[in-house]
Amino acid sequence: MNSTGYSLEPTNFTDEGSVPGFNKQTKSVLKMSLVVLLYIVNNYINGMLITAFFKHHVFHGNSRYVLFIHLVFNDVLDISVLLILHIWVETLHIMPVSLCYLFLIIAVTTTYNTPLNLALMALERYIAICKPLHHPKICTLRRTYIILGIMWLISFISPASDIIIVFNIEPLSFFSTEIICETNSFIRVEAQELKRDFLIISYFALAWLTMAYTYIHIAIAARSASRSEKSSARKAYNTVLLHAIQLTLSTIMFLVPLVDSLWLYYHKQDPRDVQYYTHILIILFPRLLSPLIYGIREENFRKYLKGYVKCCTLGRKESPNQTIKQINGSED
């Protein structure tokens, strides 16, 4: 699960390595400013990708683009929740229980969506290359949207069961109180932790097995393909490799508690500072790279992104007819 909150328990650590003249308030403002800046940059890139998808019909009929833009939207939702929780924890410290649980449900669901979405994208590429005659029948838009709906339902089951457990254990008056909103706010019994760990391992293991299976079969297909098909197959297994990198970045975020513990063991620092650094480096920064790399690499999106960048830098827009002519027939 994403690191959606920070521990706010008082500590006896002193800022030995802090810059002289920086008090706690100044440091808190600087930390929040960096998080907000990364959020703006990330969502500006994601916003351009989403705008390109909805504005141009060339993307609407392709299940590959639908799966990709869903992944982008999922990241936007996840990062937005992380930003709200981070600012809230840094400023107000405690949050109403009902609001906290709403944010945590979104955070947990979108976290589980990520590996499943990447697995679906790899499968789509496998079918396109290894089963090209069946691709139009299997990867229809209707089936794609149905599978995405099922994926959301599967990911939602875990936080929904946590809420049911809390309802059964806590009195109704608990939901009108305030708490420190963090990842373990759901946990009431040990079985919940075991269930969470089991689901995380299961979802990511399933995604990794799917990546390995599709990559091997696409690589074999690329070797045996004719010259005209070899380029398409090579791009496909490079795409699956990119999905594997995205999955690796998503997997690393579950090492945050371990990294925090090791960092604190070797360096005496405020635990909240350590959690902040790992939050930036392991959770936010990889989310910035992932859509940027894919968006630049994908030919159709790249052409539209160049057009949007020109609009921002030169104050002029490219003709829509010109743009459509540029991308007609060009598919990665």
Predicted confidence pLDDT, tens digits, the chain (332 residues): 444 433 333 334 444 444 454 567 787 788 888 888 888 888 888 888 888 888 888 888 889 899 989 999 998 999 899 889 888 887 888 899 999 999 999 999 998 998 899 899 989 989 988 888 889 999 999 999 999 999 999 999 989 999 999 999 999 899 899 998 887 888 888 888 888 888 888 888 999 999 899 888 888 887 776 665 667 777 777 778 887 887 887 777 777 777 777 777 777 777 777 777 877 877 777 777 767 666 677 777 777 777 666 665 655 444 444 444 444 444 44
Does residue 171 lie in a domain region? yes
> Are the CB atoms for 327 and 300 separated by under 8 Å?
yes
Ranges of H-type helices in the chain: 24-55, 63-91, 97-130, 135-138, 141-169, 190-224, 227-252, 256-266, 271-278, 285-297, 299-314, 320-327
> Are the CB atoms for 203 and 115 separated by under 8 Å?
yes
Domain extent, residue 143, equals 43-247
Does residue 17 lie in a domain region? no
Does residue 90 lie in a domain region? yes
CATH of the domain at 238: 1.20.1070.10
Does residue 328 lie in a domain region? no
pLDDT of residue 22: 58
- 281 membership: H or E segment, kind and range: none
pLDDT of residue 16: 45
pLDDT of residue 32: 83
Does residue 297 lie in a domain region? no
For the record, the structure tokens of 15 come out as: 């800022």
pLDDT of residue 301: 79
Does residue 228 lie in a domain region? yes
Structurally, the chain folds into a number of domains equal to 1
Q: Around 309, how many Cα atoms within 13 Å sit in the side-chain half-sphere?
A: 9
Q: Around 231, how many Cα atoms within 13 Å sit in the side-chain half-sphere?
A: 4
pLDDT of residue 144: 95
Cα radius of gyration (the chain) = 22
Does residue 216 lie in a domain region? yes
> Are the CB atoms for 82 and 283 separated by under 8 Å?
yes
3-state secondary structure of 50: helix
Does residue 205 lie in a domain region? yes
Exposure letters 188-219 (e unless 16+ CB within 10 A, then b): eeeebeeebeebbeebbeebbebbeebbebbb
> Are the CB atoms for 279 and 256 separated by under 8 Å?
yes
3-state secondary structure of 170: coil
87, 159, 256, 279, 283 from 84: Cα distances, Å: 5, 19, 19, 14, 15
Q: Given phi > 0 = left and psi -120 to 50 = alpha, else beta, which region is 21?
A: left
